[in-house]
Structure 1
């Protein structure tokens, strides 16, 4: 399947008489494996009456790990997303935790656009919880803190913790990724006092779900959080 071809996934059991609401995940990197993983998560969360599809940017990085690639992804999203929004989708998720290109899109299209980082941070801080971001991309620290301060009260950020090891190596090894994230999450709870944790990355979504059973605090899967927020903005419950 071409990298920029939406992968359609109809939510089951719709009783709505109207056509399904169409939600699109736009992955700002080129990894179709990560896109398929996020789409599977989105399908589990999407309510009846919401049709989910996903696509990659046609050009860019396989994994966004440093500021220059995040900036290039923002340009790609700014170019590609308006075409998708005008092409028929009701809501679009910028499915990268750094939310590349999110703010200009929200300025132009309003509630039709949701960010992965935006939704994950909001969910983690819900109820005034002190939360931590745990991720693999140490070089994106500045943008992560910026996003945290933008989407939740700054005083609620307990800290940002990073895994040990090369991000690409971890993403390519689910067990190593899960173990590395668990170690970083444990430090966020014990040393930073985090009451909840958001896992910072779409490609890490499957690991986020597995960590929930291994930790004593709430663990937010950012893909699930983004689908729920996007559906709420579209008037559908998830």
Structure 2
């Protein structure tokens, strides 16, 4: 599995890769890659948008290597996730070990053998921003431009995808063919896991400027009826990330507020760079805490094997 860090911090990549390796064990090796450019932390909508083409480029490079079984986008906003799924969808017929075969054909329409067309990024309907062009339809993406894998805003699941949000083995999933390369985002995976079975869930995070984007993601996944709200930590995200003890304290307060004030029975920690704090909060909080990186690893395991491993499914 290739873990793509949309933040340009190699230290954060190493930390998240270590968490993924602990979750998956020896069965699925993990390689972490860092995007070529961008901010060290994604803390506002513009940074999130700018990260999308960088994630796409990193994913295409990983697939071109020929040894990529799955891709994990390790930022809570899931930048570039939809474009990567579009690129991998055409790779299914050749399998994970032969994304770009001897014929020279690419894994997605509009992508030559190099993996990156002259325009810089694939595919019709996906400009450099990584998001669909308004009025230019893209498969599986509603008019809002926000993808809804399996669970649209109506809340009615797509056939073959149960309410857990993960596909039924043997039934093709749009963008993730049975023989293709699964692409999972930590935000989507954590939210779907938290809401499984109709559980009321909240989100605790450090990035107030991304609050609207987080709410939109919840709505796009059809989870608004189970969403109890967002709780934000006090203090600048960059300052908190530089002080692990302070970060843990502020996140714990936010998690407790989600449970005690909002009625959440599960709380998602909203951020890949918050991965270590999320793991520590499991033991400090009575409410279920969903750490996004392990949740995404469980989703990938499920997509590859049809079962969940790597830790308690509720975490």
Pairwise TM-score range, normalised by the shorter structure = 0.7 to 0.9
**Secondary structure of 1:62's aligned partner:** coil
- 1:38-58, Cα deviation, whole Å (9 max, x unpaired): 111111110442111101001
Judge conservation of contact 1:121–1:152 (CA < 8 Å) in 2: no
- Normalising to structure 2: TM-score of the pair? 0.66
Judge conservation of contact 2:4–2:58 (CA < 8 Å) in 1: no
In the aligned structure 2, how far is the partner of 1:161 from the partner of 1:33?
26
**Secondary structure of 1:44's aligned partner:** helix
The alignment of Structure 1 onto Structure 2 pairs a total of residues equal to 216
Judge conservation of contact 1:47–1:237 (CA < 8 Å) in 2: no
Is 2:92 aligned against 1:113? no
Judge conservation of contact 1:211–1:219 (CA < 8 Å) in 2: yes
**Secondary structure of 1:147's aligned partner:** helix
Judge conservation of contact 2:269–2:292 (CA < 8 Å) in 1: yes
Judge conservation of contact 1:122–1:152 (CA < 8 Å) in 2: no
Judge conservation of contact 1:133–1:199 (CA < 8 Å) in 2: yes
Pairwise CA RMSD: 1.3
Indicate the residue corresponding to 2:215 in structure 1. Answer: 145
Judge conservation of contact 1:71–1:100 (CA < 8 Å) in 2: yes
Is 2:174 aligned against 1:104? no
Indicate the residue corresponding to 1:93 in structure 2. Answer: 72
Judge conservation of contact 1:65–1:137 (CA < 8 Å) in 2: yes
- 1:107-159, Cα deviation, whole Å (9 max, x unpaired): 33233200010111111112211101110011011111121122352111100
Unaligned runs of 5+ in 2: 89-174, 177-181, 310-315
Judge conservation of contact 1:114–1:229 (CA < 8 Å) in 2: yes
Unaligned runs of 5+ in 1: 1-22
The offset of 1:80, in angstroms, is: 2.5
In the aligned structure 2, how far is the partner of 1:106 from the partner of 1:100?
12
Q: Determine which of 36, 57, 60 is the counterpart of 1:79.
A: 57
Indicate the residue corresponding to 2:37 in structure 1. Answer: 59
Greater relative CO, 1 or 2 (CA 8 Å, sep 6+):
1
In the aligned structure 2, how far is the partner of 1:160 from the partner of 1:114?
22
Is 2:183 aligned against 1:204? no
Judge conservation of contact 2:189–2:296 (CA < 8 Å) in 1: yes
- 1:36-84, Cα deviation, whole Å (9 max, x unpaired): 1111111111044211110100111100000111110012112321221
Is 2:101 aligned against 1:122? no
Is 2:288 aligned against 1:218? yes
Is the strand fraction higher in 1 or 2?
1
- Normalising to structure 1: TM-score of the pair? 0.87
In the aligned structure 2, how far is the partner of 1:97 from the partner of 1:49?
25
Is the helix fraction higher in 1 or 2?
1
**Secondary structure of 1:192's aligned partner:** coil
Stretches of 4+ moved more than 4 A in 1?
Answer: none
State which structure, 1 or 2, has the greater radius of gyration over its C-alpha atoms: 2
Indicate the residue corresponding to 1:24 in structure 2. Answer: 2
In the aligned structure 1, how far is the partner of 2:26 from the partner of 2:35?
27
Judge conservation of contact 1:137–1:162 (CA < 8 Å) in 2: yes
Indicate the residue corresponding to 1:163 in structure 2. Answer: 233
In the aligned structure 2, how far is the partner of 1:47 from the partner of 1:33?
21
